Structure 1
Amino acid sequence: MRIHPTAIIEAGAQLHDTVQVGAYSIIEAGAVIGAGCIIDSCARIYGNTRMGMNNRVCHGATLGVEPQDFTFTPDRAKPLTIGDRNHFKEGVNISCGIKSDDGTRIGSDNYWMAFSHAGHDCVIGDHNIFANTATLAGHVTIEDRVFLSGQVAVHQFCRIGAYAMVAGVTGVAQDVPPFVLADGHRARMIGLNMVGLRRNGFTQIQRSQIKAVYRLILRSGLRLAQALIRAEQDYPSPETAHIVQFIQSSQRGLISFAD
């Protein structure tokens, strides 16, 4: 274990023998840091944080911090649980939970650029990218392989579907379905995230089928329930099933399609 002499490791913090801690960082009692993690200078890991293996926490990041919620009291704090191989760049801020027993949950292989933020009780999947100052309010759900561009702001309780991309300086006030590209002062679908789909190995046939499903849902003139049934009948695939399930389970409604 390599710990800088100026770092503060409180009694009761659990650090694997391979953990590195930089100058002036603070790791509170109760925190659990897994094998191979690197904590750079001036970071603070709060006591309700549980971190897996090979995570990188850069200068000034704060993980498990008190939520920005007027109802919060320390006795109500829920954990922040982090998987493996996440990279938290400078100034990243992630809140602990407050409302749900599982608290705030982050999967594996996510890349958080400088000053990005996730509020309390968010649920984050795997292989997502959060560009500089991307901001998630409380209770936001991000599926897998989502790209949020710089200064994106996501309203509380919204969901972002897998393989979606949201353009910079966009406010997201409703659910963003999987595979789409969203943009605008208030996010609207402007097409499919073709670049992301190609990069993640989706074939031309798969991409064309996803496009056909959305054309049916958004352009056919059918009622939504009828369109979803038709989509599953006409274009059966795992991608279609994902789109239909996402839409059917939406609580806030979906962002609109830009004509």
Structure 2
Amino acid sequence: MANIHPTAVVDPKAQLADDVIIGPYAVVGPNVTLGARTQVGSHSVIEGHTTLGEDNKIGHFSVIGGEPQDMKYAGEPTRLVMGDRNRIREFVTIHTGTVQDGGLTSVGSDNWIMAYVHIAHDCHVGDRTVFSSNAQLAGHVHVDDWAIIGGMTGVHQFVRIGAHAMIGGASVLVQDVPPFVIASGDRATPHGVNVEGLRRRGFSADAITALRNVYKVLYKNGLTLEEAKKEIEAIAAGASAPDVNAPVRELLDFLGTASRGIIR
């Protein structure tokens, strides 16, 4: 049976796993599903059509599944879906989607989301990301696996942050950040490859060297984006080792879908 504090308000229609813990003065709405061992901190609100997986920990005073801050929203039953083992700290807000963009906000698994972070409607966050305190995502933002977003950073709507990218604190992003790239500033500009992060995650020395070469082609050789993509294609074609070819291909594929253009 779920462990619900006597002061919490939990709608009887909510679906709670037997070992969920609900803290003092928390509120859980009727369309909420909480997976096994999930914990909801004191004074937090879990509302909307919201599904959380297993082993999530929601900090105090967070609002998860709130209505979109979008003037077009008219009360449609849009959703928030979150995976497993996420750590959501104090005063975090994550909103449901809008019907204009599929009606879904999603957060994957094993993410570390620090205090006062905001994840707006229709955002899609992958796995093993880190959001430092006060990072703010506007609507429709995509954050791929292993990305790190520094504190006080603001991300414009529809921007995509590639896998293993690292964004410095107090940055402003108005265009896409390719995978593996470090970016910072207002407006954010590229500052090399996230070498230390890639080493920690087991990327080979050859893969890191290839990505450094790709970075030079993309940002140091004075090429247009289309010219750079052709040279990066050649680097990928010449990389027979799968552990080298795969990340280069991933970056190349990202460039082909960067709808807002990339930081320059």
Cα contact 1:78–1:100 (8 A) shared by 2: no
The corresponding residue for 1:69 is 70
RMSD (CA atoms): 1.2
SS in 2 for 1:181: strand
1:250 aligns with 2:250: no
- Return the alpha-carbon distance in structure 1 between the equivalents of residues 200 and 77 of structure 2: 39
Cα contact 1:27–1:47 (8 A) shared by 2: no
SS in 2 for 1:115: coil
Return the offset for 1:220. 3.2
Equivalence map 1:216-227=2 (5 Å)? 216-227=217-228
Return the offset for 1:192. 1.1
The corresponding residue for 2:122 is 121
- Return the alpha-carbon distance in structure 2 between the equivalents of residues 168 and 39 of structure 1: 28
TM-score where L is the length of structure 1? 0.95
The corresponding residue for 2:110 is 109
- Return the alpha-carbon distance in structure 2 between the equivalents of residues 198 and 146 of structure 1: 14
Cα contact 2:48–2:67 (8 A) shared by 1: no
Cα contact 2:109–2:128 (8 A) shared by 1: yes
The corresponding residue for 1:92 is 92
Bigger Cα displacement from structure 2, 99-108 vs 139-148? 99-108
Cα contact 1:13–1:47 (8 A) shared by 2: no
Equivalence map 1:108-257=2 (5 Å)? 108-235=109-236, 236=239, 237-256=245-264
The corresponding residue for 2:54 is 53
- Return the alpha-carbon distance in structure 2 between the equivalents of residues 188 and 224 of structure 1: 15
SS in 1 for 2:101: coil
Q: Unaligned stretches of 5+ in structure 2? A: 240-244
Return the offset for 1:40. 1.1
Counterpart AA for 2:97: G
Percentage of identical aligned residues? 38
TM-superposition CA deviations, 1:52-72 (whole Å, max 9, x none) = 111000100110001111122
Bigger Cα displacement from structure 2, 60-69 vs 191-200? 191-200
TM-superposition CA deviations, 1:95-116 (whole Å, max 9, x none) = 1111333510110001100000
TM-score where L is the length of structure 2? 0.93
SS in 2 for 1:104: strand
Aligned residues: 255
TM-superposition CA deviations, 1:197-252 (whole Å, max 9, x none) = 12211122111110001212233344432332322223430011011110111110
Cα contact 2:192–2:215 (8 A) shared by 1: no
The corresponding residue for 2:242 is none
